[in-house]
Chains A and B, each alone.
Chain A
Amino acid sequence: MDQRDQKDPWLSHQPRPPVIPTPRGPVPVPPTFPPRRQLSLTVNGRKVSVAEGTTLLEALRGIGIDTPTLCYLETLTPVNVCRICVVEVEGSRTLVPACSRKVEEGMVVKTDTERVRLSRRLVVEFLASSVDVSTSPQIQAYMNRYGARPQRFGPASPPAGHRDAARAGYHEATDGSRAATVGQPVKKDNELYYRDYGKCILCYKCVEACGTDAQNTFAIAVAGHGFEARISTEHAIPLPESACVYCGNCIGVCPTGALMFASEYEMRQSGTWDESRQTQTDTICPYCGVGCTTTLHVQDGKIVKVTSPLDKDVTRGHLCVKGRFGWQFVQIRDPGSERR
């Protein structure tokens, strides 16, 4: 039938024909899942029961055992590379990472043995002796907790300028008198954030946030090999030439301050950054209709950075460039300004 012969139902105010398509087969029903099996395990001598599919970390948290983590984040796929969360599992030759290992029936787990403490302490010592952890309160707390003494490995070597060009499988000869570090010049190639990879513990979080776990932009990846592995754009090109869209989600997940808002970095440099004078206020991003929660960090009446809480379902801590960086308009205070 020629459509044009018909009157437009809207114009003629006639009821519209039903548009619900008739299903060609049986109407699909939502899948039902068998109830999750309960598994029992023993933790430090205590019997615990958890649902199948739970990770050891979740199980331990559930019973109030605080397990250290660095590369784990609720909103990201576990990469289990930092190895600070290791625990002892009976029957396993090595320690196992709690963050990614799923509970199995009858597991016998110990979380506070000398063996566990030794590995955790060495992980912290390895990091603190090779990375600048001065802006990572988390690692500093673990250092205290495990009695880490990174100075045991000797004085730190000076920063090197050529990590971006390191050749896989080769390193410069060492005489051992200085502990090699990842120290290197700070990267500042855009207005919005600094990349100080001398503070990078290679937790892979920024890469995940830039990739399929959040942003799907893939501007950065782990390049290189071994101790010379590093977060990098292709050929280490500056961010403005890369795929980066400045969502800042990498900053949001970075546990060490290696990625830092320009505002925070510059205030720290000039000695004016003072978290004790800061307030945090949750609000909704003013830009689009998604409704992301933003947390405004305010010092002396000025927004100094914007984060987003992980536990809000709308974006699980991730924002876009506008919500993350587009707040300068709020604080134009110059009395002579036209836009007051």
Chain B
Amino acid sequence: MDIHLAKIEPALEEREAVNSVLGAPESGWSGGERRIDLEGHCAFGGHRSQAQRHLLLPVLHAIQSRLGWITPGALNYTCQRLDLPPAEAYAVASFYGLFSLTPRPRRVLHICDDIACMTRGAEELCGRVEQRLGPPSTDTLDGKATWYRSPCLGLCERAPAALISFAGERPCEGVFAPADPNRIIAALQAEGRDAARESPDRFDVKASVPQAGQPGLTLLKRAGRIDAESIDDYRAQGGFETLRRAFSLGRSWVVREVSASGLVGRGGAAFPTGKKWDPANRPVYLVCNADESEPGTFKDRVVMEADPFSVIEAMTIAGYATGCERGYLYLRGEYPLAGERLAHAVTMARQRGFLGDDILGQGVRFDVEIRRGAGAYICGEETALFNSIEGYRGEPRNKPPFPTQFGLFGKPTVVNNVETLINVLLIVEKGGERFATMGTSGSTGPKLFSVSGHVARPGVYEVPFGATLRQLIELAGGVSGSGRLQAVLLGGAAGTFVSPGELDTPLTFEGTRAIGAVLGSGAVVLFDDTVDLRKVLLRIAAFFRDESCGQCVPCRVGTVRQEELLQRLARGRPIGSTEEELNLLKEIAQAMRDASICGLGQTASSAVESALRRWRLFPPGA
């Protein structure tokens, strides 16, 4: 391609950042030394460079974490290496929240002010940090640092949460949860890179999995009982035995049992996994969706942090059963510890022959590559995720065609959520029919719920499908805060509110549907009666406005108009009457639901509408 590059000589640091992913350039044409004797008048690179476009996102991460922002010099050099038009590279980089395209201090603090953290002092935390550091998005600490308010960081069980990242030659990231203003500011100022990494909040199984160690757990059975960084420990507890069993029983057995189990996807859409795995689709890639960004959801993170090898084992079984030789795990960018542990698990599994060209000496080929997202909720949508891995903007594709026909790199692809995949381990262990005896006839198996907000013991809970919301709340120690429950948000921002009168609803797909609610990602956020639900709705509306990818009109503008309208109502300053505004809101919601490309726009008003159906939050004439 005849691309037009700027005449900027990349600085050494810029060059190193890019080369750390792409390796040294092969020829003068891609930024290396021009070897006139070898290259003469021949152009090298071309298709070979362009075929590396899927490395764009990893390269951008490398630049960001080395330099603190995506500099024009580094971006230009990237384009030279990948034979990519700079406008396109810029378009991709500017899509993601974690990248900065303008100069920015190397130390960045993100403080979550989303719905679960709201119930546990996020506003106060932001206020105290603002007192010390000044307003968000401005440079502070002599230009060394900056801070932002952030959507849910997936640490809701330890709210309020904060994430710190240090760019530099030895970049590091760490989380603070529950975050204390003094501690995070001290870490932000500290010299030495390990300040953030050494945060005591890395992982605490008791805080995240209150059930840990209890008998009867299946998906969480190893949580807290193994060293998540030791493959030997994992094997000592039966790890990789399920893989062996899958190999001995054969591909079609596994697929048949998964179908018989009635397992449906845990990522939100509840699609039957057996159908997705139909060998007739001849899938090429297996993708594990670990982009968990739904506010109030953290179950996948906890699974990956507590039992990373099980995710790799489950992916391997899925890859074997569906005939895919290549797996991608797309991990949310804000999950540093899960990233570290999974990367270690992949390396160890490769070393021990559980991944690679000849797994367990059975001639099975499968390997996993971890790709890190960069702060875009929409990349959890499966087709946006494919575009993101391929090095394009994470814009969802129009469906049909569905991933089973046209997925990653245009090839048939199986994409499953982390929790869906680890359920497959159970199915292979027990057989599909026994799995199906757990739960209800419409929702089989165990289910993980991320319980947070005004609850005594927040965390990830495993219950068989069929438990009621009341039972789940009791399991989590009951309502905290004022002790008087006002509302529960099921399924996160894209989910629905339910009222205390609906606590006896079984937490199943059919049970929630019957009351006009959804289970979604399994997020359960509790709000006591001191919470102003209007503020929660405003936060959700702001979230969708921020996270709309901007591709289609109904969602790009609809989410903006929805937020503005709710702001007017909350301030008691409607255009016309409150009644008219509520009608307009219904129209906005319907257009978003009917005409948007993807699930984000289609559900962007779901929580708001469910709340307005249950409570008169904006009385007419007020």
Contact A179 B561 (CB under 8 A): yes
Question: Taking the complex as formed, is B594 at the interface, i.e. its CB lies under 8 A from any CB of chain A?
Answer: yes
Task: Decide if B90 is an interface residue (CB 8 Å cutoff).
Answer: yes
Residues of A within 8 A of B557 (CB): 126-127, 129-130, 227
Q: Cα distance A241–B90 when bound, in Å?
A: 15
A268 at the interface (CB under 8 A from B): no
Are A225 and B376 in touch, CB under 8 angstroms?
yes
- Chain A proximity mask over B578-622: 1 for CB below 8 Å, otherwise 0: 000000100110110111110000100000000000000000000
Q: Are A170 and B91 in contact (CB under 8 A)?
A: no
**A221 CB–B CB distance under 8 Å:** yes
A86 to B102, CA, bound (A): 39
A315 within 8 A of B: no
Contact with B along A149-177 (1 / 0, CB 8 A): 00011100000000001011111001111
- Beta-carbon nearest neighbor of A152 in chain B: B584
Contact A95:B594 (CB < 8 A) given known A234-B87, A235-B72, A243-B85? yes
Chain B CB within 10 A, most for which of A219, A232, A234: A234
Interface presence of B327 (CB below 8 A): no
Check if A168 sits within 8 Å of B91, measured CB to CB: no
In this assembly, does B49 line the interface, its C-beta being within 8 Å of a C-beta of chain A?
Answer: no
**Cβ 8 A contact of A243, one of B4, B72, B549, B568:** B4
Main secondary structure of the interface of A (DSSP, over half): loop
CA of A166 to CA of B393, assembled, Å: 16
Q: A169-B97, A174-B564, A175-B571 are in contact. Are A126 and B587 (CB under 8 A)?
A: no
Q: Are B90 and A234 in contact (CB under 8 A)?
A: yes
Q: Which residues of A contact B567 (CB under 8 A)?
A: 174-176
Q: Please determine whether A167 and B554 come into contact, CB atoms closer than 8 angstroms.
A: no
The answer to whether B393 touches A227, judged by C-beta atoms less than 8 angstroms apart, is no
Q: Which A residue sits closest to B567, measured CB to CB?
A: A176
A86 to B571, CA, bound (A): 35
In the bound complex, how far is the Cα of B19 from the Cα of A154, in angstroms? 51
Q: Indicate if B462 sits at the interface (CB-CB under 8 A).
A: no
Beta-carbon contact of A227 and B552 below 8 Å: no
A51 within 8 A of B: no
Given A86, A169, A222, which contacts B375 in the complex, CB threshold below 8 Å?
A169
B514 beta carbon closer than 8 Å to chain A: no
User: Which residues of A, 164-221, contact B by the 8 Å Cβ criterion?
Assistant: 165, 167-171, 174-180, 201-202, 216-221
Q: Which of B91-122 contact A (CB under 8 A)?
A: 91, 94-97, 99-102
Does chain B have a CB within 8 A of A228?
yes
Contacts of A242 in B (CB 8 A): 4, 87
From A122, which residue of chain B is reached at the shortest CB distance?
B591
Report how far A195 CA is from B226 CA in the complex, Å.
60
CB distance from A133 to the nearest CB of B (A): 13
Binds A, one of B305-313, B502-510, B540-548: B540-548
Residue contact A170 to B137, C-beta cutoff 8 Å = yes
> Is B552 in contact with A170, judged by CB distance below 8 angstroms?
no
Could you tell me which residues of chain B, from 553 to 584, have a CB within 8 Å of some CB in chain A?
Answer: 553-554, 556-561, 563-568, 571, 573, 575, 584
C-alpha gap A98/B559 in the complex (Å): 23
**Interface presence of A295 (CB below 8 A):** no
Contact of B545 among A129, A226, A232 (CB under 8 A): A226
Instruction: Check A94 for interface membership: any CB of B closer than 8 A.
Output: yes
A-B pairs with beta carbons under 8 Å apart, 18 shown: A82-B552, A94-B602, A97-B398, A123-B595, A168-B96, A168-B376, A169-B375, A175-B573, A176-B567, A202-B550, A216-B1, A217-B4, A219-B87, A221-B85, A221-B90, A225-B94, A225-B96, A228-B550
B interface, CB within 8 angstroms of A = 1, 3-4, 6, 72, 75-76, 85-91, 94-97, 99-102, 137, 148, 151, 375-376, 393, 398, 542, 545-554, 556-561, 563-568, 571, 573, 575, 584, 587-588, 590-591, 593-597, 602
A-B CB proximity, top 5 nearest: A176-B567, A229-B550, A169-B97, A218-B85, A243-B4
